[in-house]
Amino acid sequence: MNNKDGRKDIKCLAFYLPQYHPIPENDEWWGKGFTEWTNVTRAKPLFRGHQQPVFPADLGYYDLRVPEVREAQAKMAKAHGVHGFIYYHYWFGNGKQLLERPLNDMVALEKPDFPFCICWANETWSGIWYGAPDQTLIRQEYPGNEDIVMHFDYLVKIFEDPRYIRVNGLPLFMIYNGLNLPDSKSYTDKLREEAVKRGLGGLYIMGSNLHPDSWDFEAAGFDGRVSYAYNKVQYQLMWEAKRQQQKTRDRFLRKIFSKNNAPRVTRIDQRTLVENIIFEDQPGDIYPMILPNWDNTPRSAHNGVVIQNTSPELFETQIRNAIDYINSREMSDRFMILKSWNEWAEGNYVEPDSRNGYVYLDVLKKYLTRAGV
């Protein structure tokens, strides 16, 4: 690849959501046959100009139990410059997993021929996005060393897969919330110990974009993390938007003595967000994140957040800034993290839809494939 703009060897890794097939737990919690598509299809516009529902285009309302779907996704991703998928992995302790079938099937069938790694989404599931924050569906637990061994007994066959993404020869293992780990340094040391015992040489452990800049990831036992820069600006704009909404609501309530305190969708502007992102010049492996769009009202209705005025041009700006950042640093690898490939109920995806088609994928292709040079 021509390296005139510093694109050479940049590896775009995209978060990949497996919740597109029914499981007994979701049947029990949300109704028979529930998948991520259930929320997508029942979404409604909640304010003037709100573009809901959204409709998938080429891939349709797919079921990830179908191998041909996974093949089509990988082919599409590869053609547009995505280097690999980051599969969300749900291990709640004591051997309890959820939504593991797409990953297990992909490993067992040895298809598609496409790089991948996993992100352990170590979070308690609650009803927070559905207006029931006090409802715990399944709790994330850390029973101790025996559970770490049991967890690694499962992970080792995944890490040994020749398609698995490695950094300096070590399997890349992302942990979503390092702050949740009990004594994270001891916990990650134990994970590496298990990797060595099984002949893997160790692990390259990466934190997700959840962690603030003040988090000392190396002291916590991590080798790198995804940049917090996008989240930092997004949360600030969300706080400002909510504060303004409350002022407006208070004036309205005082005027008409209404008791209507219904929540309102929080809206922020993508251009303002992108223009204010600053990647911190901190030491260590910190990988930039790009985010094309966001609207989680299909999950959370009026409690949701919508990033408005998203566009391929602003996505392109993020990619250029991420490339510049990568080129300015010495890191263990040249990863650019895409959030996300297919989180449809959060309005956070690059898979083609009926409105935008391939526009976001074409931006990736422009920067990350030979065809785009």
Residue 6 confidence class, pLDDT cut points 50, 70, 90: low
Pick from 100, 157, 149, 172: which is nearest to 334 by CA?
172
Is 80 exceeded by the pLDDT of residue 312?
Answer: yes
pLDDT of 206 reads 98
What would the two tokens of residue 134 be? 């006090």
- Find the distance separating the first CA and the last CA of the chain, reported in whole Å: 7
Residue 257 confidence class, pLDDT cut points 50, 70, 90: very low
Class (C level, CATH) for 11-372: alpha beta
Is 80 exceeded by the pLDDT of residue 33?
Answer: yes
Helix, strand, coil percentages, rounded to 5, for the chain: 40, 20, 40
Is 4 in a helix, a strand, or coil?
Answer: coil
CB 340 within 8 A of CB 15: yes
pLDDT of 182 reads 95
How many Cα atoms within 13 Å fall on the side-chain side of residue 73? 31
> Considering all CA atoms of the chain, what is the largest pairwise distance in Å, rounded to the nearest integer?
70
10 Å Cβ neighbour count for 89?
25
Please, is 200 exposed, middle or buried when counting C-beta atoms within 10 Å of its C-beta (0-12, 13-18, 19+)? buried
Distance of CA 106 to the CA centre of its chain: 19
Please, is 259 exposed, middle or buried when counting C-beta atoms within 10 Å of its C-beta (0-12, 13-18, 19+)? exposed
pLDDT of 373 reads 44
CB 59 within 8 A of CB 352: yes
Is 90 exceeded by the pLDDT of residue 372?
Answer: no
10 Å Cβ neighbour count for 44?
10
The pLDDT tens digits of the residues spanning 62-111 come to 999 999 999 999 999 999 999 999 999 999 999 999 999 999 999 999 99
The pLDDT tens digits of the residues spanning 209-252 come to 999 999 999 999 999 999 999 999 999 999 888 877 765 555 54
The reported pTM is 0.93
Cα angle: 270, vertex 14, 16; to 5 degrees: 105
What would the two tokens of residue 193 be? 């110990």
Q: Indicate the average pLDDT of the chain.
A: 92
How far CA 90 is from CA of 87, 136, 343, in Å, comes to: 10, 16, 16
pLDDT of 254 reads 45
The amino acid occupying position 132 is: A
The pLDDT tens digits of the residues spanning 285-294 come to 999 999 999 9
